[in-house]
Every structure is written in C-alpha cells, then in structure tokens.
Chains A and B, each alone.
Chain A
Amino acid sequence: DAGITQSPRHKVTETGTPVTLRCHQTENHRYMYWYRQDPGHGLRLIHYSYGVKDTDKGEVSDGYSVSRSKTEDFLLTLESATSSQTSVYFCAIAPGPSSYEQYFGPGTRLTVT
C-alpha cells in the first residue's frame, strides 16, 4: 500500500461520539486525501491537504474536519458521529496535485450504531 497505514482498521462507535481516524505515510508526499466509499456512490472526496496545515474541502465535507500538523500524518475527525457516516474510509497520497496518481491506504471500516 505504498507506505500508507490507516488506524484503526475497524471501529464501531455510538451515535454522538467523536471519532478520529489516522492516516500515516512514509513516502514524504505533499498531498493527502480522505475519501469515503459507499455502495451506489463510489469514492467521494471528504477533505484533502496540499501541505502541512494546508487543507481544503471535498464534495462531502459536512460533519468532518481534518488536521495536518506534519507531513506524514493526516487526521480525519467526526465531531459527533451519525449513522449516515457509517462507511469505509480511505486515505490516499500523491506526490503532486490532481494530475498525479494517487495511492490508497488499506481503509478503515467505521460503523456508527
């Protein structure tokens, strides 16, 4: 998985609780992305980062926040989890902006009960 790890790999949480997912890379790539994948919707971009402390919203950013305090780590936080956020979350990294290929981590399966 191109030097990308995600933690946790599986998580079950209750509605209303905060949840933080972590993406860690060893490739020193500048760009990092968070996606969610749901049946019938495909991969949808939540947030992305183009450098330390530089982030921007994707198409489904409501209810999510991100932080990137160092190159290798990109955190995704669900401030108050809802059942609609049950999904598989993938982190991806890239050496450059959208013209460059992205490499995906193994994913985190999140269930909100």
Chain B
Amino acid sequence: QKEVEQNSGPLSVPEGAIASLNCTYSDRGSQSFFWYRQYSGKSPELIMFIYSNGDKEDGRFTAQLNKASQYVSLLIRDSQPSDSATYLCAVNSYGGSNTGKLIFGQGTTLQVKP
C-alpha cells in the first residue's frame, strides 16, 4: 500500500512566523509532488508542485524535496491569518504510460493566530 503521511495538527503559529509543513511518502518511484490548500467547505487548490530535489520558491511559499529521505515539505513565510487552512500533500504513483494516480495525505491543519 503506497502511503503519504502528514501530521494532522493543528499546527499553530503566530502571525508573521514561518510555518513548516511536512510530508513523507513510501513509493520510491514517485516523481511528482504537490501541495494543495483547502479552506473549510471548499475544494483543494493547487499552490505548489516540485519535481526535483532541492527548494522551489513561489512568493511566500517554498517547497522542499528530498527523494533520498522520501520527504517533501512546505514552508510558508510571514504567515497570515488567511493562510489558516488544511494543507494536503499529494504524491504521484506511476501506473504506466497512460495511467497513474495521485496519493493524498490526510492533510495538516494550520492555524495562524493574529
């Protein structure tokens, strides 16, 4: 069973701090890694994807990937109350040239306190 694990939280950080969200995965063949943000009662929204080892930055968000250790993380700098949401980690599971799926973690709830 291919798995993606996240700490469910809640992770509570003060406004302006750095929030660090972590995710581990079991499939060593995974090549693509995604972070989604989901507000309560809404659908998941893609915020970052990363394919290569190292860091990828987009505004206040940085995704970090370490394939050797099989973990991917998301850093949110200068956290704002509007960042309060559940963050879902997703990892691809390759199934052949035309198929394959994303495996989602259960999500980490982030609370940013003013």
Contact = CB atoms under 8 A, between A and B. Distances in A.
A103 to B, nearest CB: 6
Contacts of A105: 43
B99 interface: yes
A99 B106 contact: no
Interface string A38-69: 00111111001011001010100000000000
A97 B98 contact: yes
B92 A98 contact: yes
Interface stretch (B16-24, B44-52, B59-67, B75-83): B44-52
B43 A102 contact: no
Contacts of B106: 40-42
Contacts, number: 64
B114 interface: no
Nearest to B49: A101
B26 to A, nearest CB: 14
Interface of A: 1, 33, 40-45, 48, 50-51, 54, 56, 58, 90, 97-107
Given A1-B43, A97-B95, A97-B97, 9 more contacts: A42-B106, A90-B43, A97-B98, A98-B94, A98-B95, A101-B46, A103-B46, A104-B43, A104-B44
